A and B are shown apart, each in its own frame.
Chain A
Amino acid sequence: SQTIHQWPATLVQPVGSPLSLECTVEGTSNPNLYWYRQAAGRGLQLLFYSVGIGQISSEVPQNLSASRPQDRQFILSSKKLLLSDSGFYLCAWRRRYSGNTIYFGEGSWLTVV
């Protein structure tokens, strides 16, 4: 069976500090990978998606970046966090060639202080 792991679960970071959130998927290969953010009082917004190693597409301009160094690893980063980066970050995956269901990880709570 497939599983998705995301860490850390909770993070409190000062403004201007760097960020690294990591996500890995097990039990599948060549998945489509996604980073979503859920800000307080707002819906889920797609930040980045990837269809393969090193291939990153951004949905919205922002202070964040993403990387996919391995097939089943997806990393969300920032060099200098802003207060507005606070929120709940969710990694997700989908089988590329069959099935439409998108599966989500448990999420990472980021508070920038």
Chain B
Amino acid sequence: KQEVTQIPAALSVPEGENLVLNCSFTDSAIYNLQWFRQDPGKGLTSLLLIQSSQREQTSGRLNASLDKSSGRSTLYIAASQPGDSATYLCAAGVAIQGAQKLVFGQGTRLTINP
């Protein structure tokens, strides 16, 4: 059974810092690894998706890496801004009968202080 863990559970940093969020998964048989952002009381916004054959993906100030062999993914945020404050969720895409589902970590609650 796939389990996804995110460390730390919460992180508070001053504006402008570069930071790394960590995600680990127990079963390397994944289709992909997806990172989401969730603002309080809102749905999930997809940030980056890394296919199982890829090592990393970049979008603006965000860079996500994937190491299937070690069961790890990281989300790197450069030059953090107060608007980056949110909960960040990683999810492993795994096979289910006839489809694919996401197994989520508990999230990292990020606060960027002005």
Contact = CB atoms under 8 A, between A and B. Distances in A.
Nearest to A34: B101
30 contacts: A6-B43, A32-B99, A32-B100, A43-B104, A43-B107, A44-B91, A45-B104, A49-B96, A49-B101, A57-B98, A59-B101, A90-B43, A90-B44, A92-B44, A94-B99, A94-B100, A100-B31, A100-B32, A100-B49, A100-B93, A102-B34, A102-B91, A102-B102, A104-B44, A104-B46, A105-B43, A106-B42, A106-B43, A107-B41, A109-B41
Interface string B42-68: 111110010100000000000000000
Contacts of B105: 43
B34 A101 contact: yes
Q: Chain B interface mostly helix, strand, loop or mixed?
A: strand
A102 B49 CA distance: 9
Interface centre among B42, B44, B45, B91 (most CB of A within 10 A): B44
Q: Chain A interface mostly helix, strand, loop or mixed?
A: strand
B81 interface: no
A54 B82 CA distance: 45
Nearest to A90: B43
Interface size class of A (residues with CB under 8 A): 20 to 34
Interface size class of B (residues with CB under 8 A): 20 to 34
Interface of B: 31-32, 34, 36, 41-46, 49, 51, 89, 91, 93, 96-102, 104-107
Interface of A: 6, 32, 34, 42-46, 49, 51, 57, 59, 90, 92, 94, 96, 100-107, 109
A51 B51 contact: no
A102 B106 CA distance: 18
Given A32-B99, A106-B43, 16 more contacts: A42-B106, A43-B107, A44-B89, A49-B101, A51-B98, A51-B99, A57-B97, A57-B98, A92-B44, A94-B100, A100-B31, A101-B46, A102-B91, A102-B93, A102-B102, A104-B43
Contacts of B36: 104
Given A43-B105, A51-B98, A100 B43 contact: no
Contacts of A103: 46
